[in-house]
Amino acid sequence: MPGDEIEDSGMHLCGVLDSEDELQQWLESFFEENGWTAIREVSPRNGTCRADLIVGHSEYGWYGIETKYITGDCGGKIADAHHKITEKYRGRKYINRRINCWLVCPYFWCYGPDDYRSTTQRTRADLISGMFSRHGIGYINLDKSRLLLDFADSRMYAKVPVGGEYLDKHIEGVDVERIRDRVDRMREQYPYNH
């Protein structure tokens, strides 16, 4: 069953999923269960493209999420996510709100021994989150016991808590205005981000 819990701690927070649609369904439910508004497949005003997920919270604001279900080499799909966020989604109005803070949420389906899988996952996640962070785009890592909207790998203020275990330090440390300022600064460094 999609989203079933898995005993192996190296597996995804959401369990085993079989498609990007299941990933989006799981995220939508998880956000809603944790007090967020979540809307799937939203088009911007006067636009033809559709964002995978727009989420909002009364305390933390609104964010856009581009999901990717990855079964093999991830380069093309990650490049596609980056292009969509920077060229089609960011800065547009969705449900009467301008969404500038975007994240990528990759789900890596991997086969093989658990230790290979978890090592591969960590390596991919580190590379991808670092690249997106450099461009002012956040990262959602499903291989943790909690879900955070992570806009900078090691900065506590840049991690918006959503749900899961051990959230206290993230709830106390998050600074949404600093996140927005950082996203704006990073966007200005790259001309395609305007």
3 lies in a domain? no
Q: How confident is the model at residue 36 (pLDDT cuts 50, 70, 90)?
A: very high
- Residue 7 within a domain: no
Cβ count near 192 (within 10 Å): 10
In a domain, residue 13? The reply is no
Percentage with pLDDT > 70 across the chain: 81
- How many domains, the chain? 1
pLDDT at 191 (0 to 100):
62
> Higher model confidence: residue 91 or residue 55?
55
Measured CA to CA in angstroms, residue 135 lies from 105, 129, 145, 162, 187 at distances of: 15, 10, 26, 22, 6
In a domain, 145, yes or no: yes
Average pLDDT, stretch 130-155? 82
Q: CA 43: distance to chain centroid?
A: 18
Question: What is the residue-averaged pLDDT of the chain?
Answer: 80
Mean pLDDT of the 34-38 span = 95
pLDDT digits (tens, 9 = 90+) for 69-121: 887 767 788 888 888 888 888 888 888 888 889 999 988 776 544 544 566 66
Is 146 domain-assigned? yes
pLDDT greater than 70 at residue 172 = yes
Q: Would you state the pLDDT for residue 114?
A: 55
**Domain enclosing residue 88, as ranges:** 20-193
* CA-atom Rg of the chain in angstroms: 16
In a domain, 1, yes or no: no
Task: Evaluate whether residue 163 is within a structural domain.
Answer: yes
Q: Is the residue at 4 inside a domain? A: no
Residue 8 predicted with pLDDT over 50: no
